[in-house]
Structure formats: structure tokens, C-alpha cells
Homo-oligomer: A and B are copies of this chain.
Amino acid sequence: MKQTRRLISSIQKEREMANIQGSSSPMIGGDGSHSYAKNSTFQKAVLDAAQGWMNEAINDKLDFTVLDFDSSNPTFRIADLGCSTGPNTFFAVKNIIEAVEKKYQTHFQKPPLIEFQVFFNDFNGNDFNILFKTLPSYQNYFAAGIPGSFYTRLFPKSTIHFAHSSYSLHWLSKIPPEIVDSNSPAWNKGSIQCTGYSKEVANAYLGQYKKDVNMFLNARAEEIVGGGLIVILIGGRPDGIFMSQTSTGVVFDLLGASLAEMANLGEISDEKMNSFNLPVYYATPKEIKEIIEENGHFSIEKMEQVTHPMVMAMKMKNMSILEIVVSSLRAIFEKIFTEHFGNEEIVNKLFQRFAIKLQEIYPGFHKIINHCIEHFIFLERKI
């Protein structure tokens, strides 16, 4: 049940990011979510593992001496970057505070009361009204909403002790322009994602991803105090595996194939089809490691990988899971498709085609051994 909620939250989060990529309007209401909850349960405690690692990391690495923490007037500042509208951000924050509080109590002898200030960040278009209205009635922290892209500066210098970002950083700030430029060798004609088969396309996607992650790390390097910590959870793929060789990549390719069929039938123009790409990049552990090391501001304290919960869902031989895949993919990407094609009817047809295609390959689908993964990345700001 807990995993189901998290899968749904992951989907909601992805949908939110999709909405934001597409426009600044807030996300569509969470209709349909409950039906997911009713139809499935998942066994593996993916995010419980992440939570365990986070607690461990805070216990091992949070050093109040290094943080130059003012114990006479102790305010500990936490940022959740890409918080969406809750409630997952509230669970994450609660967990972080408990772990920090525990460490604080063991570090100092009879310390004064520590106060927490929590900054919930997301794009200006995020529904902060919902976030604020659903704040837990009991909060042991002072809450703040921070509007703006986390690819830019959001906080004054050296004011954040702990940052957290979940399900957000694999969304690109934009589609690299060469991907949709018919005169470029990186033109991604006939595909809607970074399949991995074209080196030029892969380089363009990776190039944008590098730029984005660097912007993120450079901004955080200014804001996070020396010795401060950051935990990132993002989607990715295993080393040496192309996106199209993963189950999520296969699903994206089916979406692309559905679009291509519609173009062949004249339901959409070739131009519209070829100019559409998903603004997400699933990096490998090696790529991520290289970007962080080249950036140089943070030391990697821990990197772990777990199977993406949506993939786990798909592995279950259960038709209701198939429905979930279709619904959740639609929930995540509908807005982007609708904005690009300018027509809801087209999006309906697209997902009808997609559902049929998915059903066709579904009997063998759970055998696909390459799965997208979740990266758990734990960094410390160098002093």
C-alpha cells in the first residue's frame, strides 16, 4: 500500500514536471489516482530503501562542527527542490527532520532547542495554494514556499544545510534545439526520445542534461554551506544500456510508433510528429558520476540504484497493471502532447493506439531484463 502510494506520488510528480515543462499552468487535479491504489500492490520497498540510506547518510555524514552550526541560536534549513504539491514532500521532510534532530541530540550535550525552516521549492506555476493548505496540521518546522526553477539560484549564499530533490532532475530544462532541427545531424527524426541508437542524438540529449545538472549543482554550491548535504532521487538507466533497451524505453518507443502511425494515416502532420520529443533524460551511473566529479563542488558520499517502481509494476503479470501503465504515462505526458499537437482528440487517439500496442507486446514484456532505475545520490558540499 505504501509502495502504491509512492508509485502514484511518483506519477503525480512526473505529471507535475510535465505540466511545468509544457506551460506554467498548474497540474490537473488528481482524478483517477484512487483507482490505481485499488488495483495494485507492490512488494519491493524501493523508497523505503532510499529512506534508510538517507537516515544512514545523515547519521554518518552530518557534522555540526563542520557546518559551523551556531548552537547558541540553532536554525537548520532544509530545501526540497521540486516539491510539487505534496504530500510526498511532507513525508520526506518529516523523515529528514527526525534524522537531523537525532544526530543533533547526540552531537551536543544538552543542546538548546533546534529550529527547522523548510523551503518547499517548485516552479512559479506550481500550485502552492494546495501545498500550503495541505501542510500537516502539526509541523515542527517553519514552512516557506520558494517559487522558481531549481536550475537557477533560489536562496542566499550559504544558508541551506540540507537539500533534497526527488523525481525531478531527470526532466530537462528544454529540448536541445538540434534534436528538432532537420538540418542537424542530431535531428531525432522518427523518434520521440533518446533511444541511444543515434550517437548524435544521444550527445545532444546528454549535452543538455550535463548543462542542466551543472546549473543545478552550481546554484546549490552557492547556497549550501560547506559540509552541507544533498540527496537526489532521479530516474536513470543502467550503465552500458541504451534507453530503448529498457522497459521504460520500450514503452516510450511504442508511444513514438503510435504517433508515426497517426502521421502515416494523415491524422497528424509529419512535421508535428518529427518536432515532438520527450524532455527527459535517463542517465547512467557513470554519466552522473562524471558530471558531479567534473563539476567539482560536491563529493559523492553514496550512490545507489534501485529498480524504478513503475517497472516493478509492469513486471507483475496482471492486466490491471497494463492499465496503470497507460493511465500513468498519459497522466505524465498528456499535457505535453496536448500542447504540442493542440488537440485533445489527437491525444485520445494516440493513447488508444498505444494501449493496443502495449497489449500486443505485454505477454513478453515482463521478461525484458533491462529496467530503468532510480538513482539515489548523496552528496556533500566540499568545504
Interface residues of A (CB under 8 A from B): 24, 26, 73, 75, 115-117, 119, 124-125, 127-129, 132-133, 135, 142-148, 153-159
Contact = CB atoms under 8 A, between A and B. Distances in A.
B147 A146 contact: no
Nearest to A130: B129
Nearest to A127: B129
Nearest to A124: B132
Given A132-B128, A132-B147, A145-B147, A157 B75 contact: yes
Given A115-B157, A128-B129, 12 more contacts: A75-B157, A75-B159, A117-B156, A119-B144, A124-B133, A124-B135, A125-B133, A135-B147, A142-B156, A144-B144, A145-B145, A145-B147
A128 B85 CA distance: 13
Contacts of A153: 142
30 contacts: A73-B157, A75-B156, A75-B157, A75-B159, A115-B156, A115-B157, A116-B156, A117-B156, A117-B159, A119-B144, A124-B132, A124-B133, A125-B133, A127-B129, A128-B128, A128-B129, A128-B132, A128-B145, A129-B129, A132-B147, A142-B146, A142-B154, A142-B155, A143-B146, A143-B147, A143-B148, A144-B146, A145-B145, A145-B146, A145-B147
B117 A145 contact: no
A111 B24 CA distance: 38
Contacts of A133: 24, 124-125
- Closest 5 A/B residue pairs (Cβ): A145-B145, A75-B156, A132-B147, A115-B156, A144-B144
Given A75-B156, A156-B115, A26 B129 contact: yes
B145 A132 contact: yes
Nearest to A141: B156
A129 B148 CA distance: 12
Nearest to A154: B142
A147 B146 CA distance: 12
A128 to B, nearest CB: 5
A142 B128 CA distance: 17
Nearest to A77: B156
